[in-house]
Amino acid sequence: MKVTVVGAGAVGASCAEYIAMKNFASEVVLVDIKEGFAEGKAMDLMQTASLNGFDTRVSGTTGDYSKTAGSAVAVITSGIPRKPGMTREELIGINAGIVKEVTANLVKHSPEVIIIVVSNPMDTMAYLVHKTSGLPKNKIIGMGGALDSARFKYRLAEALDCPISDVDGMVIAAHSDTGMLPLMSKATRNGVPVSEFLDAEKQAYVEEETKVGGATLTKLLGTSAWYAPGAAVSVLVHSILCDQKKMIPCSLMLDGEYGESDICLGVPAIIGKNGVEKIVDISLTDEEKEKFATAAKAVREVNGDLKF
Ligand code: NAI
């Protein structure tokens, strides 16, 4: 099956690389507006095929969307990333225009496509795609929770001084420094609640480091991260293309779930061949419910800046 990745920059190229390396898609088409850039990234990636042992065909185009026709999944990473000190929300002006235009081009050539939105501010960009694409809501998925949960697990394993595969945890709510909600009450080490191992101070440290995970990397790199975002997208695409029905937190249009409506926020969902197969209702503590509502309020304010 064919996958399109729009934006051949840091995150887009990383997505394409992980998707190709995992060998589950027949074809990946990279699209960028910078002349020759997507073609170059695609050629470079294809020259790793014999080295890395994959058969996925990777091609690139400078804005010719006819090459994306018939895509089962399209990933939108086009737009500007944040610089040190910037919030994701500050990117809205430029990225909204790009995401809207890219969405229209994708849907024109692949009316059945499932869109994964990566560009920031992601919850608001996912909302914009819902409002402008005409696609059913199960076909629009914002990628944030998969990445933030991976960062949560990284910080949990660090605090517990144990292998990452021993820990489990999930981050829901907004993909923003303040609106992220790492569910400490549900985090486990080998099935045992982490509260058995970490005192309140260590738990607070893990939560805080998870929430500023993106900002920490932006400060170190001078731009936002790409390996983990690319890997997180590839996990979503894999679950769709191979109908794995994995439970992955994603930013989805809510219609009463978790007490919210007409907003995209991170919630756990089953991801399979139809995109969003089901939003999973997990019980939250009163404090978590309050934090979820506060995150929703902040995202709604950012959504208010959108012009359709
Ligand atoms: P980048 O600057 O490396 O790449 C963006 C690419 O988009 C550039 O190559 C640019 O030429 C291209 N582009 C711009 N306008 C376009 C258009 N109209 N059509 C096609 N291509 C276009 O940026 P990077 O680091 O790859 O980040 C991309 C976006 O992803 C940013 O908005 C960033 O904030 C976001 N991001 C989101 C994450 C998430 O968890 N949701 C994680 C990391 C980044």
2-143 is classed in which CATH architecture? 3-Layer(aba) Sandwich (3.40)
| Number of other residues whose CB lies within 10 A of the CB of residue 27 | 18
Residues sharing a CB contact under 8 Å with residue 302, sequence separation 6 or more, in sequence order:
89, 92, 121, 123, 124
Pocket mutation for ligand 1, best pick of 120, 221, 264 (most atoms within 8 Å of C-beta)? 120
- Tell me: is residue 16 an annotated ligand-binding position: no
Q: Which tokens hold the place of 200? A: 């309140």
Identify the DSSP state of 254.
Answer: E
pLDDT at 85: 85
Give the Cα separation of 154 and 135 in Å (integer).
35
In ligand 1, the atom with minimum distance to the C-alpha of 31 is: 20
User: What are the helix (H) ranges across the chain?
Assistant: 10-22, 37-46, 49-52, 92-109, 122-133, 145-160, 200-211, 213-221, 227-241, 286-303
CA gap 20, 15 in Å, rounded: 8
The count of other CB atoms within 10 Å of the CB of residue 13 is 26
Atom 4 of ligand 1: nearest residue by CA position: 9
Q: Which residues contact 11 (CB under 8 A, 6 or more apart)?
A: 77, 81, 118, 224, 226, 229, 230, 233
Residues in the chain: 308
CATH code given to domain 144-304: 3.90.110.10
Q: From the centroid of its chain, how far is CA 66? A: 25
Q: How far is the CA of 126 from the centre of ligand 1 (A)?
A: 14
Helix (H, G, I), strand (E, B) or coil at 128: helix
What are the residue ranges in the chain where pLDDT is below 50?
none
C-alpha of residue 120 to centroid of ligand 1, in Å = 8
Q: What is the pLDDT of residue 293?
A: 98
* C-alpha dihedral (8, 13, 14, 19), degrees to nearest 10: 110
Residue 277's alpha-carbon distances to 67, 102, 236, 239, 250, in angstroms, are: 28, 25, 13, 11, 12
Give the distance (Å) from ligand 1 centre to CA of residue 5. Answer: 10
Is residue 151 a known part of a binding site?
yes
For 152-190, b/e burial (b = at least 16 CB within 10 A) is bbbbbbebbeeeeeebbbbbbbbbbeebbbbbbebbebe
Q: What is the pLDDT of residue 292?
A: 98
Ligand 1 pocket test: pick from 77, 89, 251, 264 the residue with the most ligand atoms within 8 Å of its Cβ. 77
C-alpha closest to that of 231 among 21, 52, 67: 21
Identify the pLDDT of residue 124.
97
| Residue numbers annotated as active site | 175
8 belongs to an annotated ligand binding site: yes
Cβ contacts of 83 within 8 Å, gap of 6 or more: 218, 222, 223
CA 281, 284, 289, 292 torsion-angle sign: negative
pLDDT of residue 243: 98
199 is in an annotated binding site: no
* Cβ-based neighbours of 158, under 8 Å, separated by 6 or more: 206
200-212 tens-digit pLDDT: 999 999 999 999 9
Domain ranges for the chain, please list them.
2-143, 144-304
pLDDT reported for residue 264: 98
> Which residue from 87, 224, 236, 248 has its CB within 8 A of the most atoms of ligand 1, so it is best to mutate?
224
pLDDT given at position 229: 98
Q: Which residue is listed with tokens 């994964």?
A: 116
For the chain, the straight-line distance linking the first and the last C-alpha, in angstroms and rounded, comes to: 32
